Structure 1
């Protein structure tokens, strides 16, 4: 590829709405151009990155035994109604009508369509197991698209779906995909972790996320530095931090705490550690019974320095159909007080109290007195209030005990892949059955496996950049090597050396671009440092007179002189180490 015959259009400044490095740098490097909020055109340089990601994914999916097909972007609403997700999926599902007023969706995922294919194409146990995958455009109508390709509305995704005879075989398919994903992300050259995760809106009973480690990531990952344990913070179990409950040592006292609606302020006023306080969180469930809505209010208690984990709350008994924060009106009706001074003692109405495991073992703690400006001190279970229901309600924190020993650490990550064991969540609803060996119908067991192709590009930049621009891993770079001849049109020696080297590298399978634009060295170098090509070779008359050219890896602080006759071989060797 010659730069003069390619489209290179870099910018000095990023758009004002670009908040993260990947959005800023991809825009400045001319890799993407905004068409609408969360919708981008992939320009030639950016598309090369996406195609390289797709090629690695496709190779490993084929290696795993998966079979490629291509499902439509526009899907009929009937399938989504049949699965129950037409309403359940929410506003992110973009619903459209055709000229005949028939309902369709722009697909955010393809469980319904692939299950429909399976129930019509697979009839016998002899056809199983099977795994179909495709790489296709997806659309999710994000309320607030942001961060460029990190959280766009339209994006490119690889999704795969396995079908098996039974749960045991389906678990084997899951493990096969897990291994394939580990190979994919290793080949992409990314620093990543596979973490246990919640299944979310997809459903199912087993799930792992693949997270690229980056400070700008939206997810918090919990891991044990000494073992292989890792989990998304939503799923990580939070142990009780108190081995046993101490006997009461204080009297129950109603204490004035003016202007202290938060645990931090209460602890400060009373001269206590924040760990001696208990935070009250009031939630409600709404259940339809006989055409009427029954609302139940719950009081969740966690230690003052902890935060409620909403995913864990959603898994409590009675919360299966959803929950929400209680309204101020509901809170006042039950507690007789506005938020800020709530607690389990002296409520107006009976309320079910659920205490986090650590809170359930606390003694002599501080909680709200259900009166503005007052808290109770010296509160103890059994003596001052009934024993609570116990549950893991909180997020783990750095330094918590790890499940298998040691201490937990926390880091940020960007989710770029997800594998789910679905079981019969979709196959049962859509009646995807096959004939078993006994001639009787059986429901297929499913797994689904997604990789965010376009998000990988953004995540790689978040993990690999500096003040000058992107630093692509070799596997993802739009070009592996750039040749920068100084005075290409003015010097026959420079032009001939650059052209010969370009030919030699191409013959050895190197993805190389020759910058023959005859731009000034400063402009040329700034462009390629911004674009992030892993290896740059600079050819100038002065160096040629000494029989050398300059070679510099994007991560290196300085260049190295290499004899002209060795540069092709040395370049290939240097690339192998990147």
Structure 2
């Protein structure tokens, strides 16, 4: 490729709404252009990156035995109604009508369509197992699209769906996809972790996220540096930090705490560590015994800990949904406004659940259910009944791992997610096959997604500097750029640059020749911004000395190499980047 025949349009400044590095740099490097909120055109340079990611994904999916097809972007609402997700999915599902008033959706995922295909195509155990995948545009109507391709509304995703006879074989299919994903991200040249994760709106009983490690990631990953353990913080098991509850040593006492409605303020006012306080969170959920009425729940976590909403949503009685209680509901249940709540002598009965650590605390401090007051010296069994106990909190760095060692936390960007679904969709859509005994049986499913466009952004979040993008070789828009100095002025430079360019092309290198005749500073700044892994600078002075310059983008180091062995040296350097 010659730069004069390509579209290169870099910008000095990023748009004001670009908050993260990938959004800023992809826009400045001319890889994406905004059309609407969360919707982008992939410009030629950006599209090349996406195609390289797709190729690696296709190769590994094919090698793992998956079969490619292509499902539509627009899907009929009837299938989503049949699965139950028409009502369940929420406002991210963009619902539309055609000219006849029939309901459709712009698909965010394709479980319904693939299950419909399989129930009409797969009839016998002899046709199993099967794994179908496609790479297709998706749409999720994000409330607040931001961060460019990191959280857009329209995006490109690879999703695959496995179908098996029974759970054992379905788990084998899941494991095959786990291994394929590991190979994909290794080939992409990214630092990543596979972590146990919550199944979320997709459902199922087993799930792993593939997270690209980056300081700007929205997800928190809990891991043990000394073992293989890793989990999304939503799922990570938070151990109780107090093994045995100590005996009470303080009397229960009501203490004035004016203007101290938060645990931090109470601890400061009373001169005690924050971990002596207990935080109260009040929730409301539909009462199954009284339709139209709400049951009030009081959840207790230590003052220095944070409530984990995913864990809360799995508590018996809260699985069908919950919300924060209103101020009126709080006053009715506790007799005071928020900020001074506690489990001792509530105004009316509430369901109390204590985090594991709180359940073993003694002589702790909590709200007195009286505005401006807290209770000190509170003890279970003496001052209030023993609570229901559950894991309610987020892990914090330094928590002990039950398997040994201490847990650490790092940020990541979710770029892949795999789920074991079981019969969640196949049962709802009556997708069955005839087993060896001639009787119908429900198919067991798995689903496996990779965010193609998000990977491009995540790679930049992980690999950039103050000059621009630093692409891994596997997904760089070009592997090598040849930069001739004085293209229009020196036939010697033109010939040498053309020769090296053609030699590299013949070796299968994805190379671009910058024949724009731009000033050296402009040319170098462009390619550093775009992030091509290797740059070869060809100048007349260097050629007179028998050398050209080779620079590696990731290190910034420049070396002079013999012009007559430039091809072999560039190829050798490329191998070291693989």
Q: How does 1:131-210 map to 2 (within 5 A)?
A: 131-210=131-210
Three-state SS of the structure 1 residue aligned to 2:297 is strand
The alignment's C-alpha RMSD in Å is 0.8
1:257 — aligned with what? 257
Which whole-Å deviations, capped at 9, do the CAs of 1:479-501 have from their partners, x for residues lacking one? 00000000111101100000000
Following TM superposition, the consecutive aligned residue runs of length 4 or more in structure 1 with deviations greater than 4 angstroms are 287-290
Three-state SS of the structure 2 residue aligned to 1:421 is strand
Return the alpha-carbon distance in structure 2 between the equivalents of residues 235 and 293 of structure 1: 32
Q: Give the TM-score taking structure 2 as reference length.
A: 0.99
Return the alpha-carbon distance in structure 2 between the equivalents of residues 207 and 497 of structure 1: 54
2:19 — aligned with what? 19
Q: Give the TM-score taking structure 1 as reference length.
A: 0.99
Q: How does 1:478-517 map to 2 (within 5 A)?
A: 478-517=477-516
Return the alpha-carbon distance in structure 2 between the equivalents of residues 544 and 161 of structure 1: 56
Return the alpha-carbon distance in structure 2 between the equivalents of residues 234 and 324 of structure 1: 18
Judge conservation of contact 1:484–1:516 (CA < 8 Å) in 2.
yes
2:94 — aligned with what? 94
1:537 — aligned with what? 536
Return the alpha-carbon distance in structure 1 between the equivalents of residues 389 and 375 of structure 2: 21
Three-state SS of the structure 1 residue aligned to 2:95 is strand
2:113 — aligned with what? 113
Q: CA deviation at 1:289?
A: 6.7
Three-state SS of the structure 2 residue aligned to 1:202 is coil
1:372 — aligned with what? 371
Three-state SS of the structure 2 residue aligned to 1:101 is coil
Q: Is residue 2:388 matched to residue 1:389?
A: yes
Q: CA deviation at 1:556?
A: 2.2
Return the alpha-carbon distance in structure 2 between the equivalents of residues 289 and 371 of structure 1: 30
Three-state SS of the structure 1 residue aligned to 2:149 is helix
Three-state SS of the structure 1 residue aligned to 2:438 is coil
5+ long unaligned stretches in structure 1? none
Return the alpha-carbon distance in structure 2 between the equivalents of residues 218 and 557 of structure 1: 29
1:324 — aligned with what? 323
Q: CA deviation at 1:403?
A: 3.1
Judge conservation of contact 1:219–1:413 (CA < 8 Å) in 2.
yes
Q: CA deviation at 1:279?
A: 0.2
Q: How does 1:80-91 map to 2 (within 5 A)?
A: 80-91=80-91
Q: CA deviation at 1:287?
A: 4.8
Name the count of aligned residue pairs: 577
Q: CA deviation at 1:320?
A: 1.5
Three-state SS of the structure 2 residue aligned to 1:462 is helix
Judge conservation of contact 1:287–1:321 (CA < 8 Å) in 2.
no
Q: CA deviation at 1:242?
A: 0.5
1:126 — aligned with what? 126
Which whole-Å deviations, capped at 9, do the CAs of 1:167-191 have from their partners, x for residues lacking one? 0000000000000000000000000
Q: CA deviation at 1:558?
A: 2.9
Judge conservation of contact 1:164–1:170 (CA < 8 Å) in 2.
yes
Q: How does 1:163-562 map to 2 (within 5 A)?
A: 163-287=163-287, 292-562=291-561
Return the alpha-carbon distance in structure 2 between the equivalents of residues 237 and 323 of structure 1: 22
Three-state SS of the structure 2 residue aligned to 1:34 is strand
Return the alpha-carbon distance in structure 1 between the equivalents of residues 373 and 150 of structure 2: 45
Which whole-Å deviations, capped at 9, do the CAs of 1:353-412 have from their partners, x for residues lacking one? 100000000000000001111000000000000000000000000000113110000000
Which whole-Å deviations, capped at 9, do the CAs of 1:121-158 have from their partners, x for residues lacking one? 00000000000000000000000000000000000000
Three-state SS of the structure 2 residue aligned to 1:281 is strand
